[in-house]
Amino acid sequence: MKNSTRNLIIGILFIIGLIIANALGILDNIDQNDESQIWFYNSQGFEFKNHPKYTYQGIIISPPDVRIDHQKIKIKTTQLLKPINKKISGNVLVKTQLYPSYQYGDQIEITSFLIQPEAIEDFKYDKYLAKDKIYSLGYGARVRLINQDKTNQTELNQLDKFKNLILQTVYNLRQNISDQINKIWPEPTASFVNSILLGYKRAMSEDIKEEFRRAGVSHIIVISGLHITLITILLSKILYSLNINRKKQLPIILIILTIFALLSGFSASTIRASIMGLIVLFSQNIGRHIQKHLILLYTAIIILLMNPLLLFYDLGFQLSFLATIGLIYLSPIFKKLFKFLPNKMEIQSTFVSSFSAIIMTLPLTIYQFKTISLLAPIANLFILPLIPILMLFGFINILISYLFFPLAKYFGFIEYILSKILFLIVKLISSLKFSSLGVNNFNSTSLIISYALIIIIFIYVQKQKNQNLN
């Protein structure tokens, strides 16, 4: 048996093992009777109104999720103060007022109800939180800041203090860049640049995000494999032009991609694309060609070893991998079907790539959102070529702004005009009555049947291709 075949079988068995473990409830199994964990004090549903509020302390372990009228803060608890005083652990997601603002690493004291997360209609909200090891929700919260010094918190060991200091520096830089973006461009251009460069997807208004969704191009306003691929290719070309060979390129690109992943918030799609790019570069450096499907499989295993629940409860992770599978297996088929399209300005390859990704992710998007975008391939054909240009001009303008801000404002007009063109295309397509169609009866059985049909059609086409070659 070839090594590639053996590795493929092992990888598939690993995925099957995770599916079985999740079905048996092993992956997110917690001891509900452990009094040292914050979730022991949870109330169920509306029963919290009959329970007292708890007072506890903890450390903010990720940048606050700021919404229009409130913010959500992820806390790693350290001490329960009331009604009893004892050391505890476990994460809790606290919903509180928009102001005052808090930062990653702040030590705070919270008084709130503690509620057990539950599914919301068809959305498994409890499982969605479980992937981040959150099993408690804090509602009706009153928050008090205790300590902002990340290096002087007695509850943390030296390693955690050092980690907090590094991450706080990164998050401060990210926020500083975002502030700079907001100074250079007006809305909604500023929010769009924040989304494609920093991963601040909630920066854009709900109306604009809805237009992108109806047009079938919502994937371009979040950091994805597309963005990472563009960055990797651009870096490789720049380094090659500087006479830096591939072996020396690897550590440089590794550092830059790691920084970019940090600045973009470590989304699942960013991590996936970064690891895939590094595996490809590594295989080139050691002189071995790794098949694309094995690259994808290795990437999945690496990410799922860190957090196996992403496979089941992270939609971004699922869509990202399905899109990549579409690019690997469906693109060659659709390339023949759309060979009549011109190759100038990468029109053909852009359409084929986007169409392949759309077809592969279509069943899952219909299942999750109960709608289908009918004009997504056409929208992608017009919009995707603008993305690398917008990313490039955006990045250059940010660098210029730190050197000479008036010049950045002047050149920022190019980004502004291009973004206006993009918004106009999206608005025009999304406004068409037949741009999207509601699908309400698409259940899990329909989802399985849809992907089974895609697999059967692909196998049939491959057999026909092999017979023609013979």
Report the CATH number at residue 60.
2.40.50
At which of 279, 309, 339 does a domain end? Answer: 309
12 falls within a domain: no
343 falls within a domain: no
Q: For residue 293, count other CB atoms closer than 10 A to its CB.
A: 15
Give the rounded percent of residues in the chain with a pLDDT score beyond 70: 82
Q: Note if the bond before 100 is cis, omega within 30 degrees.
A: yes
Amino acid identity, position 217: V
Range of the domain at 303: 220-309
At which of 93, 124, 147 does a domain end? Answer: 147
What DSSP string runs through 173-213? HHHHHHHHHHHHS-TTHHHHHHHHHH--GGGS-HHHHHHHH
Distance CA 295, CA 317 (A): 16
Is pLDDT larger for residue 406 or for residue 440? 406
Distance CA 151, CA 165 (A): 7
21 falls within a domain: no
Taking 70 as the threshold, does the pLDDT of residue 462 lie above it? Answer: yes
At residue 110 the predicted structure's pLDDT band, cuts being 50, 70 and 90, is: very high
At residue 233 the predicted structure's pLDDT band, cuts being 50, 70 and 90, is: low
3-state helix, strand, coil in the chain (%, to 5): 60, 15, 25
At residue 400 the predicted structure's pLDDT band, cuts being 50, 70 and 90, is: very high
Average pLDDT across the chain, whole number: 79
Compute the residue count for the chain: 470
Could you tell me how far CA 394 lies from the centroid of its own chain?
21
Taking 60 as the threshold, does the pLDDT of residue 346 lie above it? Answer: no
Whether residues 52 and 135 share a domain: the answer is yes
Q: So what's the pLDDT on residue 2?
A: 64
Whether residues 141 and 43 share a domain: the answer is yes
Distance CA 341, CA 355 (A): 13
Q: So what's the pLDDT on residue 281?
A: 60
Distance CA 183, CA 118 (A): 41
Q: pTM for the complete prediction? A: 0.76
Q: What is the mean pLDDT of residues 306-326?
A: 82
Taking 80 as the threshold, does the pLDDT of residue 390 lie above it? Answer: yes
At residue 340 the predicted structure's pLDDT band, cuts being 50, 70 and 90, is: confident
Please report the beta strands in 267-333, taking only residues with DSSP state E, as ranges in sequence order: none
326 falls within a domain: no
6 falls within a domain: no
Is pLDDT larger for residue 288 or for residue 445? 445
Distance CA 94, CA 79 (A): 15
> Which residues does 219 contact at the CB level (< 8 Å), separation at least 6?
226, 319, 323, 357
At which of 265, 284, 309 does a domain end? Answer: 309
85 falls within a domain: yes
Q: So what's the pLDDT on residue 151?
A: 52
Taking 70 as the threshold, does the pLDDT of residue 404 lie above it? Answer: yes
Distance CA 85, CA 176 (A): 39
Is pLDDT larger for residue 322 or for residue 122? 322
pLDDT digits (tens, 9 = 90+) for 49-106: 667 889 999 988 888 887 777 888 999 999 898 888 989 888 999 988 888 888 888 8
433 falls within a domain: no
Whether residues 130 and 228 share a domain: the answer is no
Query: Could you tell me if 308 and 127 are in contact, meaning their C-beta atoms sit under 8 angstroms apart?
Result: no
Q: How many domains does the chain have?
A: 2
Q: So what's the pLDDT on residue 386?
A: 79
At residue 203 the predicted structure's pLDDT band, cuts being 50, 70 and 90, is: low
Query: Could you tell me if 15 and 300 are in contact, meaning their C-beta atoms sit under 8 angstroms apart?
Result: yes
Range picked from 126-140, 247-261, 375-389 for highest mean pLDDT: 126-140
Q: So what's the pLDDT on residue 284?
A: 57
269 falls within a domain: yes
End-to-end CA distance of the chain: 24
Whether residues 139 and 49 share a domain: the answer is yes
